[in-house]
Structure 1
Amino acid sequence: MVEAVLGVTRVELVDWFEGGVKLPPTTLSTADVIVRLAQRTNLPKSYFSKVIKVSQSTMSRHGSAKTPVSVDVADAAFQFAELVDRVEHMRGQVAAAAWLARDNPHLGGRSPLEFMTTETGRRRVSRYLDSLEEGAYG
């Protein structure tokens, strides 16, 4: 999912995040990333404006100007996509979508998607997935 949404490999993204390598020129804008995430997950674009902390009006301006995606936007999209990839690996694509949207008692009765709009929330979901992968929860 990461490569499909951002158009680069995980290794290229990590290098970019760490400042070691410049990404090849890209025509992806912030709006493009949001559209790709929305298409891939069947979630509304408005949800992803929360994930990457960009207002709808700013997103529209970015999309029309084709402003290249920033490191912050790419990082948030990367974190989100990594979590979705993990859930899809564990449950399959269709079941993953339902699992992400369902209220979960191990997350205080809230859905994983509710947490995934912030970095702290994504870390909480990631820790929960770690526990599931280790067999701590059913």
Structure 2
Amino acid sequence: MDKSGVSCGSAYAGKAGEFRIFYLRSVASLAEEAQRGVQAGEIVRVGRAMGRPNDYVFRVLRFSPATAKRKLKKAERMSPEQSERVLGLERIIGLVEVMLEKSDVPSESFDAPVWVANWLDRPCPALGNKCPAEYMGTRMGQELVEGILAQMQSGAYA
């Protein structure tokens, strides 16, 4: 648990740092992947890593639950717009993993995807006390959230 009493672990058996590649990849590479469409199963992977159900990912990324569930059931690719939002969320988790690598926090005691899920749902002073999750439904909103995280790392957090 972290200082706020929130669990820092999930039942997800993924590898620590597995999302960092999404932050380190070029924007062109991510744009190409979004254009092809990511597999709907990526929603499940991200949700598990975050310790959250699929419905949480649907809500945060503003996906129609019926459409997302249909695509999951049929193992379809998501639209470029949906793919961009999933990749953006993975990129934000990756940013936190990269921040962690550069910090003094022992990575084995910190679960970046779960931390991101918890942080997204907390009011943020830099957003006028709105929750960062409210901005995750668009790429521009995700860029705003990334910027706030980068400010936190640099100590310029407002």
Which bin holds the TM-score, normalised by the shorter protein? 0.5 to 0.7
1:56-67 aligned at under 5 Å gives the runs: 56-67=65-76
Shift of 1:16: 6.3
Q: Which whole-Å deviations, capped at 9, do the CAs of 1:114-133 have from their partners, x for residues lacking one? A: 32232232121112123223
Superposition CA RMSD, Å: 3.4
1:84-99 aligned at under 5 Å gives the runs: 84-90=93-99, 92-93=110-111, 96-97=115-116, 98-99=118-119
Residue 41 of structure 1 is aligned with which of 37, 45, 50?
Answer: 50
The percent of aligned pairs where both chains have the same amino acid is 24
Counterpart Cα distance in 2 of 1:57 and 1:134: 40
Shift of 1:55: 1.3
Counterpart residue type for residue 63 of structure 1: L
Across the two proteins, how many residue pairs are aligned to each other? 128
Residue 89 of structure 2 is aligned with which of 66, 71, 80?
Answer: 80
- Runs of at least 5 residues in structure 1 that lack an aligned partner in the other structure: none
Contact 1:103 1:110 survives alignment (8 Å): yes
In the alignment, what sits opposite 1:17?
A: 31
Counterpart Cα distance in 1 of 2:146 and 2:76: 30
If asked which structure has higher relative contact order (CA below 8 Å, sep 6+), I would say: 2
Shift of 1:10: 3.9
Counterpart residue type for residue 80 of structure 1: L
Shift of 1:93: 2.0
- Runs of at least 5 residues in structure 2 that lack an aligned partner in the other structure: 1-17, 101-109
Counterpart Cα distance in 1 of 2:85 and 2:156: 27
Contact 2:30 2:87 survives alignment (8 Å): no
TM-score when normalising by structure 2: 0.61
Counterpart Cα distance in 2 of 1:3 and 1:70: 23
Shift of 1:38: 0.8
TM-score when normalising by structure 1: 0.68
